[in-house]
Amino acid sequence: MTERSETVGERVYRLRTQRGMTQRQVAAPAYTAAYVSTVEAGKVRPSEKALHHLAARLGVDSRELLTGQPAHLATGLRLGLTGAQHTLATGDTAEAAREFAGLLAEAEEYELTEESAAAQLGLGECALESGDLAQAHARFEAAERLLADAAPARRAPAVRGRAVAHLLAGELRYSCYLLENALDELNNSGHHDPDALLLLYTAAIAPYLDMGAHARAAHAAEQALSLAPSATDSARVAAMHRSVARTLLAENRIAEADASLAKAAELYRRLRLRTELAHCHWMRGYVHAQSGGLEQAEREMRIAREMLAAKRATLYAEQVEVELADVVRRRGRTDEARELLRGVLATAGQERAAVHAGAAHRLLGLIAQEAGELECAEEHYASALSLLERAGAAGDLADVCRLLGDLLRRAGRTQAAMDAYRTGLGPRVTRGVTTLGPAPAEPPA
pLDDT digits (tens, 9 = 90+) for 52-84: 899 889 888 777 777 777 656 767 787 788 888
**What was the pLDDT predicted at 273?**
63
- What is the pLDDT confidence band of residue 91, given thresholds at 50, 70 and 90? low
* pLDDT for position 216: 86
Kindly provide the b/e burial profile for residues 101-133, where b requires at least 16 CB atoms within 10 angstroms of the residue's own CB: eebbebbbebebebbbbbbbbbbbbbbbbbbbb
Confidence of residue 426 (pLDDT cuts 50, 70, 90): low
Higher pLDDT, 4 or 310: 310
Report the C-alpha gap between 153 and 425 in whole angstroms: 39
Are residues 392 and 211 in contact, defined by beta-carbon separation less than 8 angstroms?
yes
SS3 at position 377: helix
* pLDDT at residue 333 in the model: 95
The confidence score (pLDDT) of residue 314 equals 75
What pLDDT is attached to residue 367? 95
Instruction: Calculate ∠ Cα 231-160-238, nearest 5°.
Output: 40
Left if phi > 0, otherwise alpha if psi is -120 to 50, otherwise beta: which for 272? left
Three-state DSSP class for residue 351 = coil
Q: In angstroms, rounded to a whole number, what is the distance separating the alpha carbons of residues 302 and 288?
A: 13
What is the average pLDDT across 17-22?
91
Neighbours of 403 (CB within 10 A): 22
Mean pLDDT of 107-111: 84
Nearest to 169 by CA among 19, 55, 319, 299: 319
Q: Which pLDDT score is estimated for 353?
A: 66
Q: Which amino acid is at 311?
A: K
Name the pLDDT band for 253 (thresholds 50, 70, 90). Answer: confident
pLDDT, residue 432, reads 34
**Residues near 138 by beta carbon (within 8 Å), at least 6 away in sequence:** none
What confidence score (pLDDT) does residue 193 get? 85
How many Å apart are CA 243 and CA 221, to the nearest integer? 8
